[in-house]
Amino acid sequence: MEWFDSIWGHIYTAFIEKDRWRLYIKGLGVTMEVAVFAALLGVLIGTIIAFMKLSVRRDGKKTILSRIANIYIDIIRGTPSVLQLLIMWFVVLKSCHNGILVAVITFGINSGAYVAEIVRAGILAVDKGQTEAGRSLGLNKFQTMRYIVIPQAFKNILPPLGNEFIVLIKETAIVGYVSLSDLTRVANQMTSTIYDAFTPLIGAAVIYFIIIKILTVLLQKLERRLRKSDNR
């Protein structure tokens, strides 16, 4: 009983006393806000970059847009996201004092590089015969891509996009570097307030785990539905 009382005492102090749970909820809200808007921006950027990378000249050589896309993907994927965040905060967007906006832009640009590869791979996974069939029906290149290739590629793209969103939620744990009180920073600050590092940090880890687990289960259900539709 003494052991239980001790554990409960730590939990009470870290989460219930003085309504400290509200701080964790607020921190989780910041985490999800950054992740959701960054994911939307990442999908937009990634889709554009993917089509840029897929563009080729009539002789089959790479276009200037394709080379630019390759450089963008190489730079973003080859540098740590925390450095990208600091560069945006202290250099590129130095005059912007909105930490959430800076974080959304940074993670959106970062996610865009990975989304671009996901979209590109999804499009390339569609059999070339589908494109040839569309062109033989009189559709131009844009119409073939819009009505035939993209709908089929969407099934290949959606599950990896879900995984990218899950990764993005965990990556936002570094937004404390730009003075944002996300879930991780709230837990870290709480360790100094109550002189207990274990309980707040474990509590934050549990919250992250629950959110990620829910999203993972939903993603698995979506993948099963997509597989069933393929078997019809």
Residue 211 lies in a domain: yes
Residue 86 lies in a domain: yes
Kind and range of the H or E run holding 189:
helix 183-194
Residue 3 within any structural domain of the chain: no
Q: Let me know if residue 208 belongs to a domain.
A: yes
Average pLDDT over residues 63-89: 94
pTM above 0.75, yes or no: yes
- What is the model's pLDDT at position 230? 61
Residue 107 is part of a domain; what is its CATH number? 1.10.3720.10
Cα 71 from Cα 65, distance rounded (Å): 10
Q: For residue 103, give its domain range.
A: 23-231
Domain assignment present for 10: no
Comparing 4-8, 22-26, 175-179, which segment has the lowest mean pLDDT? 4-8
Q: In residues, how long is the chain?
A: 232
Residue 16 lies in a domain: no
Residue 200 within any structural domain of the chain: yes
Total number of domains constituting the chain: 1
Q: Is residue 11 part of a domain?
A: no
What average pLDDT does the chain have? 88
Contact 113, 95 (CB under 8 A): no
Token pair in block for residue 8: 């409960």
Could you report the per-residue pLDDT of 183-225, keeping only the tens digit for each? Answer: 999 999 999 888 888 899 999 999 999 999 999 999 888 888 8
Among 28, 25, 35, which residue's Cα sits nearest to residue 169? 35
Res 232 pLDDT > 80:
no
